[in-house]
Amino acid sequence: DFQMTQSPATLSASVGDTVTITCRTSQSIRNWLAWYQQKPGKAPQLLIYDASSLQSGVPSRFTGSGSGTEFTLTISSLQPDDFTTYYCQSYNTSPTYTFGQGTKLEIK
């Protein structure tokens, strides 16, 4: 069965820091991976698609990388608005779509 593991579950950082969130998959998904940001009580927002392509309107401090089975989301120069929850998502897999468990980014 296809498995996706997102880590860490919680991440503490300060404004201005650079942080990295990782998603690992149990089998290669090439570059079929997206990253979303979700603020409390709101719908998710697409940040990155195809592992490294920045969605229109998303600040360039968000960077996606990786292929195959290991992917990272890097957020540089953290802003106060960035402290929320992030999810990775695979597509074109079996099952068709899988979300990671989520990473809550907290202010240290």
Partner 1 sequence: QVQLVESGGGVVQPGRSLRLSCAASGFTFSSYAMHWVRQAPGKGLEWVASMSYEGSDNDHAASVKGRFTISRDNSKNTLFLQLNSLGPEDTAVYFCAKGTTRFGNFAEDCFDSWGQGALVTVSS
x/- site string to partner 1, residues 42 to 81, per CB under 8 A?
Answer: xxxxx--x-----x--------------------------
* Residue 12 identity (one-letter amino acid): S
Task: Count the neighbouring beta carbons within 10 Å of the beta carbon of residue 4.
Answer: 20
Give the closest residue to 74 by CA, choosing from 5, 11, 3: 11
CB under 8 A: which stretch of 13-21, 65-73, 74-82, 84-92 binds partner 1?
84-92
Residue for token pair 């709101």:
42
14 or 101: whose CB is closer to partner 1? 101
32 sits near partner 1 (criterion: CB under 8 A): yes
Q: What is the dihedral of CA 5, 107, 61, 32, to 10 degrees?
A: 10
Q: Which of 36, 62, 71, 83 binds partner 1 (CB under 8 A)?
A: 36
Q: How far apart are CA 84 and CA 10, in angstroms?
A: 10
Query: In this chain, which stretch among 13-21, 60-68, 70-78, 91-99 interacts with partner 1, using CB under 8 A?
Result: 91-99
With CB under 8 A as the contact rule, which of the stretches 13-21, 66-74, 76-84, 97-105 interacts with partner 1?
A: 97-105
